[in-house]
């Protein structure tokens, strides 16, 4: 192997509020020895995900916090460039949760091979990966979409939201997306076939705009963002509404969670279901989910967008950009 330098991104400071560049550091190290049963992987793409913000706090959650002065870790697509495994070979593309660096050594069980005949390998981090599965199981299992129902999705132009809205359309629903720019709302309607979309940053009165756009009320609210946006949508839910609680990005940088309206009376009187979930709850059904998403992709019932930033050195910038809404579709970093 020619290149022996392994660049890595460390977390060196726990962010308070919105993270900035001072929380991260690019360092170089060597590449560890390849052991039997292991593979050497060259990182091609990094997945940049909002949940990583939670791991930057030193707080108990469903996943352990990142350690200070250690390499960040997340979804990676890479190419096997050397193998001491009987199941993986040079040239295989794999996906797994690995460190944010140029080269990783991984055990066989840490990675899964990607079938790159269906779609480009990067989609294993997006529509054919964790975000796609999140959209699929959250909407289909918790949302239980029925024909002609009204579905509202927040964070609609992101990795999960773009797929939620399209799956809702496949189920014959009326779909409204909420996103943070006119470019995004136009994309949702013109390219992805959403029925309506609202720019929450410019709508003078969000609840009023939602009410006008959803004259029959809201049957399913797929919540990616929480906060004021969710308060407005939840005030419009119908009897027996379902609310898959997927993400709360508007609160991830809050040092103190603000108190909103008490929503329990509305949930109670409208017999509504609000259910939080983590995609890994459905791990034993991931193969089924990927198969379904791949079929829809092949049938051209699903489209996807990727926002690709070039260079490992720009990975922290791409991460910070999530909180400013810089991405349309799945945020990736192309490393090599």
Give the one residue of 46, 249, 312, 318 binding ligand NAP; rule: CB under 6 A. 249
Contact with ligand NAP (CB under 6 A) among 157, 192, 241, 335:
157
Residue 180 found at the interface with ligand NAP (CB under 6 A): yes
Q: How far is CA 253 from the centre of its chain?
A: 17
DSSP codes, 101-135: BSEEEEEGGGEEE--TTTS-GGGGGTTTSHHHHHH
**Residues forming beta bridges with residue 80, ordered by sequence position:** 41
Residue list 46-75, contact with ligand NAP (CB under 6 A) = 49-51
Residue with tokens 């329990």: 264
* Phi, psi at 186, each rounded to 5°: -65, -40
Q: Which is nearer to ligand NAP, 37 or 227 (CB)?
A: 227
Judged by CB under 6 A, does residue 150 bind ligand NAP? no
Q: Are 56 and 14 in contact (CB under 8 A)?
A: yes
Minimum distance from residue 157 beta carbon to ligand NAP (Å) = 5
Using the rule CB under 6 A, which residue among 83, 101, 250, 292 binds ligand NAP?
Answer: 250
Q: Give the closest residue to 191 by CA, choosing from 153, 218, 165, 160.
A: 165
Q: How many residues bind ligand NAP (CB under 6 A)?
A: 31
Q: Residue 241 CB, nearest distance to ligand NAP (Å)?
A: 19
The H or E element containing residue 234 is helix 227-234
**Stretch of 8-16, 159-167, 185-193, 205-213 contacting ligand NAP, by CB under 6 A:** 159-167
Judged by DSSP in three states, 184 sits in helix
Task: Name which of 42 and 144 has its Cβ closer to ligand NAP.
Answer: 144
* The only residue of 40, 94, 105, 159 in contact with ligand NAP, by rule CB under 6 A: 159
The span of 114-122, 213-221, 222-230, 290-298 binding ligand NAP (CB under 6 A) equals 222-230
243 binds ligand NAP (CB under 6 A): no
- Interacting residue with ligand NAP among 132, 161, 165, 289 (CB under 6 A): 161
Q: Judging by DSSP bridges, how do beta strands 330-334 and 218-222 pair with one another?
A: unpaired
Residue 102 contacts ligand NAP per CB under 6 A: no
Binding track, positions 270-289, relative to ligand NAP; x by CB under 6 A:
-------xxx----------
Q: Report d(CA 213, CA 217) in Å as an integer.
A: 9
C-alpha neighbours within 13 Å on the C-beta side of residue 15: 22
Assigned token pair, 133: 């599965």
Least CB distance from residue 276 to ligand NAP, whole Å?
Answer: 7
Min dist CB 158 to ligand NAP, Å, is: 2
How, if at all, do strands 73-83 and 70-71 pair? unpaired
- Chain-centroid distance of CA 279 in Å reads 10
**CB–CB of 132/289 below 8 Å?**
yes
Write out the residues near ligand NAP by the rule CB under 6 A. 49-51, 131, 134, 155, 157-161, 179-181, 184, 224-225, 229, 246-250, 277-279, 322-323, 325, 327, 331
């Amino acid at each position: 192997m020619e290149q022996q330098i392994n660049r890595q991104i460390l977390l060196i400071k726990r962010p308070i509020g919105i993270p900035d560049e001072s929380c991260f550091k690019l360092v170089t190290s060597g590449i560890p020895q390849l052991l039997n049963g292991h593979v050497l992987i060259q990182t091609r793409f990094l997945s940049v995900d909002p949940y990583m913000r939670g791991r930057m706090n030193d707080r108990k959650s469903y996943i352990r916090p990142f350690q200070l002065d250690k390499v960040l870790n997340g979804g990676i697509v890479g190419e096997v460039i050397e193998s001491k495994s009987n199941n993986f070979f040079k040239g295989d593309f794999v996906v797994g949760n690995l460190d944010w660096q140029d080269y990783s050594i991984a055990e066989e069980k840490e990675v899964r091979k990607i079938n790159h005949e269906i779609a480009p390998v990067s989609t294993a981090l997006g529509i054919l990966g964790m975000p796609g599965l999140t959209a699929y199981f959250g909407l289909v299992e918790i949302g239980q979409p029925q024909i002609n129902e009204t579905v509202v999705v927040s964070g609609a132009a992101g990795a999960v939201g773009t797929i939620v809205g399209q799956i809702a359309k496949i189920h014959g629903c009326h779909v409204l997306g909420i996103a943070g720019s006119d470019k995004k709302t136009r994309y949702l309607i013109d390219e992805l076939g959403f029925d309506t979309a609202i720019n929450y940053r410019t709508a003078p009165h969000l609840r009023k705009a939602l009410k006008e756009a959803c004259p029959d009320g809201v049957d399913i609210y797929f919540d990616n963002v929480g906060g004021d946006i969710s308060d407005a949508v939840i005030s419009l839910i119908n009897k027996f509404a379902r609310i898959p609680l997927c993400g709360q990005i508007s609160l991830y940088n809050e040092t103190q969670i603000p108190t909103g309206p008490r929503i329990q009376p509305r949930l109670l009187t409208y017999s509504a279901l609000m259910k939080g979930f983590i995609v890994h709850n459905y791990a034993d059904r991931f193969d089924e989910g990927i198969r379904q998403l791949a079929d829809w992709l092949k049938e051209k019932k699903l489209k996807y967008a990727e926002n690709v930033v070039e260079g490992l050195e720009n990975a922290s910038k791409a991460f910070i950009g999530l909180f400013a809404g810089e991405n349309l579709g799945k945020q990736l970093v192309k490393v090599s």
